[in-house]
Every structure is written in C-alpha cells, then in structure tokens.
C-alpha cells in the first residue's frame, strides 16, 4: 500500500493511500488503534512526511559509480553518518539554503529510504527485511563546504541543517515492494536529469545495511535509513552544479513515486529586521 500523511483545509492531520492511478483515498483509525483503508476519495490539502522519524542513518559511498566519481575506494564496511531529525522536510516544502552559517555548496542526493517498523537488534541479513515497514523517496541534501572543509572532519554539520532531508510523498509498504534491489532512481533539477541508476549498483544492499546497523545497536520503529546516492551529484559534475534559490529538485524512484521540493534562501531574523527598517 502507498500510504501518505496529510493536512486537510481545517489543519487536521490524517492518513490516506494512493491507488495505482494516483487517486487518493481515506485511511481511518479504528477504536483499537489500528488503521483501515477505505474507498472514500479525499483531496489532500498538504502532504506531510509519511511518519515522524525518530532517528536518521545515512550511508556514504554506497553506489559503485558514485564512489568512483568522488575518487573514493570501495569501502570494506558501510560508511555510516547521522542526520538530525530536524532535517526532515515535507514533500513540496522548500529546501532552505543556509545563510546564517552560510553555504554556497548545497548539493542534492536522491536516495532510497528504508523505514524500520519494529525494534531490531543483531539481526542477520536473512531476517532483516522482516523488520522493514516500507520504503520512501528521500533527498540527502548536503552542504559540501560544511561537510568537508568546515565540519571538523565529521559529516554531521554539513548534513544536518534544517530542511536537509525531504521525504515522501508516500511510504510504500514492504508487501507491495518486497524486493528493493533493482529499482530505478532518478534525480532532476528543473526537469534536467542529473542522476539515474539502479539500486542494484549498491555496494551494500538493504538487508546488509540493516544487519550492520543493528549490530549491538537497537533500531527503533520510525528509524529512517538513507541507503546512499548514485553518481551525478552536483559536486562531481564539470562544471559543478550546486543548488541555488529558484531551483526545484525531484527524486523519482520506481514503484514509489516523485518527491519534489523547491529551493529557497534562508532569511534569518537580523536580515528581516533590516528589511523592515529600510522599507
């Protein structure tokens, strides 16, 4: 099932589902706390991220072609970093380029996201998929200057600015997408295709990543795993192509859907005050 979360015009949050033709229908919560799909058509006013994510793990250099374009050696073990939960952004809402801590090298990374559905620890690759709730389109937005030049050797700063993890538009449950190992992923900027690859190019597949991350570590329900980005990122292009205000980024994954976000520039309080005084 393709499940989404939304607000209606009154500001009430609810759940719905997309059918194969993209039509939207209501999902209702039952008295016992469970959910039930209906055939009642609805018109979402605003799409939200499918769930509230508790923890976000990212995987670096997990596509062979991407590792090659960045000059990195193929890793022996998954390269793991984390993003703050406050990075999560709704479908259609803007990616905000930082200006208080200024970045002029904000990059896109279209990725397959995996959502954990129940607690797991020390699971084998063979049993890992039984802990998956479903899959999402995601964009691991990255400020390359803060990631590599100003971040003290750690990825966290450059990966954790507000709005740097758009997710959506829906969560596709594992019963509908049981094998994520051969999905086509594309990323566009303003309708120009920047990335296209198959998830079969992953160095570490989804079961291996879940097994590795759960080693001596509990993965809670609502954990989001960003499984890496293919080649074609802005930093590796010639000339380089970083995001600028006015851009629109779309991540498309076969069997899941399209995640689109505009790009704007941060306006923080000091600048707003100055503008008011001038006017």
Q: How confident is the model over 206-248, as pLDDT tens digits?
A: 999 999 999 999 999 999 999 999 999 999 999 999 999 999 9
Residues 6+ apart with CB under 8 A from 56: 82, 83, 84, 85, 87, 88, 165, 223, 224, 226
Whether the Cβ atoms of residue 78 and residue 59 lie closer than 8 Å to each other: yes
Distance (Å, whole) CA 123 – CA 61: 23
Angle at Cα 195 formed by Cα 192 and Cα 200, nearest 5°? 150
Burial of 148 (0-12, 13-18, 19+ CB in 10 A): middle
pTM of the model as a whole: 0.93
Distance (Å, whole) CA 57 – CA 43: 33
**pLDDT at site 277:** 47
Distance (Å, whole) CA 63 – CA 124: 22
pLDDT band at 274 (very low <50, low <70, confident <90, very high): low
Q: What is the mean pLDDT of the chain?
A: 93
Q: How confident is the model over 142-160, as pLDDT tens digits?
A: 999 999 988 888 899 999 9
Q: How confident is the model over 39-96, as pLDDT tens digits?
A: 999 999 999 999 999 999 999 999 988 777 777 778 899 999 999 999 999 999 999 9
Whose structure tokens read 């790009």?
263
User: Residue 50: what are its φ and ψ, rounded to 5°?
Assistant: -60, -35
């Amino acid at each position: 099932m393709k499940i989404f979360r939304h607000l209606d015009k009154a500001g009430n949050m609810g759940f719905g589902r997309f059918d194969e033709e993209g039509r939207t229908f209501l999902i209702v919560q039952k008295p016992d706390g469970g959910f039930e799909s209906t055939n009642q058509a609805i018109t979402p006013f605003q799409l939200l991220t499918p769930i509230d994510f508790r923890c976000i793990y990212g995987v670096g250099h997990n596509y062979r072609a991407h590792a090659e374009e960045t000059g990195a050696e193929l890793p022996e073990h998954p390269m793991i970093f984390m993003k703050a939960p406050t990075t999560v952004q709704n479908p259609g809402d803007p990616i905000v380029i930082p200006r208080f801590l200024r970045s002029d090298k904000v990059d896109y990374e279209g990725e397959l996201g995996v959502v954990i559905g129940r607690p797991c620890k020390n699971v084998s690759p063979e049993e890992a998929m039984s802990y998956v709730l479903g899959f999402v389109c995601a964009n691991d937005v990255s400020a390359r200057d803060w990631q590599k030049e100003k971040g003290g050797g750690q990825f966290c700063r450059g990966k954790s600015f507000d709005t740097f993890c758009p997710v959506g538009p829906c969560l596709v449950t594992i019963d509908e997408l049981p094998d994520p190992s051969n999905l086509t992923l594309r990323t566009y900027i303003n309708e120009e295709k920047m990335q296209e690859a198959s998830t079969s190019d992953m160095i570490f597949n989804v079961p291996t990543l879940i097994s590795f991350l759960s080693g001596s570590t509990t993965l809670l329900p609502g954990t989001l795993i960003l499984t890496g980005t293919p080649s074609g990122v802005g930093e590796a292009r010639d000339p380089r192509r970083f995001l600028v205000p006015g851009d629109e980024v779309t991540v498309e994954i076969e069997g899941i859907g399209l995640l689109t976000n505009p790009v704007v520039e941060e306006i923080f309080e000091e600048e707003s005050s100055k503008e008011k005084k001038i006017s």
